[in-house]
Structure 1
Amino acid sequence: MNITLVQAEKIITIAKEKAIAIDTKMNIAVVDAGANLVAFVRMDGAWLGSLDIAIKKAKTARFFDMNTGSIGELSQPGQPLFGIEHSNHGLITFPGGVPIKNAAGDIIGAVGVSGSSVENDHAVAETGASAI
């Protein structure tokens, strides 16, 4: 199963609405089951440097089928995934990347959000992912 463009656009729309509701500007990326970019938006005024971070958060969430914040906890010194952020041409291991599941519970892609605090990034990503 793979996310469709229609689904990806819906995720972006819902995530943008959440970003507006919490008064922040975000970069929002959606990747498919193969971690390929399907849809992306940079809200007016969102940080340019967060563009790449949003895409990498989405890819990281899909590569490991878990929230990027969870990977971050496992990648701290002394933890089993220490140093993983240096693999796969660079991963992002702080909150803001969330896998996307279909109604059957299959992972069909992931969303990555960057542009604010990691708490806000995660909230917007979770809201977007729940749109499916």
Structure 2
Amino acid sequence: MMNHQIKKILSRTIIFGVFVLSCFVYAQNDIQNEQQIYLTQKTVSLDGARQAIKAAQEEAIKKGWHISVAVVDVSGQLVALEKNDFAIGVSPTVAYEKARTAALLKAPSKEFEQYINNGQPSFLATPGVTPLEGGIPIKVEGVVIGAVGVSGAHGGYDSHIATIAAQAAANQR
């Protein structure tokens, strides 16, 4: 009789254990499937964009340059834009396009300009990019979260200011 009760208890314990284990496996599969249907992606915030613009404009004022600064998110969409009162009219659009290029290519827009300047004009056919220096990606822990574009200081100076701005945004935590 005692043997029969022990067998019964053991069999119920095993059944319960298998049930618990299968629930755990099922839950793990749900978690894995959920992780496969969406992504979590870091992107620059409005506060980060404002810090970038502030840093860029402060540097430009020190140098006597009148610039426009654009900050875009990781997908190249505009987060913030500022045009100095004395910046030329085309500079806001150019700043935005430089930032967008850097975000989409995950590299400084200067690299794209260099392809063109080094005899590869076919790169001009790439949709949605502007081959002008002055767009710099914003990176946090090695991951691009957006980009800054500067226009109005010309070429290397635009990149210099955009680099300062990108660093300011990346350090905003």
Find the aligned partners of 1:106 and 1:27 in 2 and give their Cα distance: 25
Q: Match of 1:83, SS?
A: helix
The 8 Å contact of residues 115 and 123 in structure 2, kept in 1 or not, is answered as no
Ranked by relative contact order (alpha carbons within 8 Å, sequence separation 6 or more), the top structure is 1
Matching residue's letter, 2:160: A
For 1:87, the equivalent position in structure 2 comes to: 126
Look up the equivalent residue of 2:72 and give its one-letter code.
V
Aligned partner of 1:53 in structure 2 is: 94
For 2:131, give the aligned amino acid.
Answer: T
- Tell me the percent identity: 33
Where is the helix percentage greater, Structure 1 or Structure 2? Answer: 2
Pairing 1:2–2:43 present: yes
How far apart are residue 77 of structure 1 and its match? 5.3
Work out the CA distance in 1 between the residues paired with 2:138 and 2:153. Answer: 21
Partner-residue secondary structure (3-state), 1:55: helix
Q: Distance in 1 between matches of 2:156 and 2:119?
A: 24
Tell me the residue number matched to 2:63.
22
**1:32-85 deviations in Å (ceiling 9; x for gaps):** 011100000001110111111111000001111111111111223533xx3323
Larger C-alpha radius of gyration, 1 or 2? 2
Tell me, yes or no, if structure 1 residue 70 matches structure 2 residue 108.
no
- Secondary structure of the corresponding residue to residue 85 of structure 2: coil
Tell me the residue number matched to 1:35.
76
Equivalenced residue count is 128
Question: Mind listing any 5+ residue stretches in structure 2 that lack a counterpart?
Answer: 1-41
The residue aligned with 2:152 is 115
Query: 1:96 is matched with which residue?
Result: 134
TM-score (normalizing by structure 1) = 0.90
RMSD of equivalent CA atoms: 1.3
Measured after TM superposition, the shift of residue 127 of structure 1 is 0.7
Provide the C-alpha distance between the structure 2 equivalents of 1:13 and 1:77, rounded to a whole number of angstroms: 34
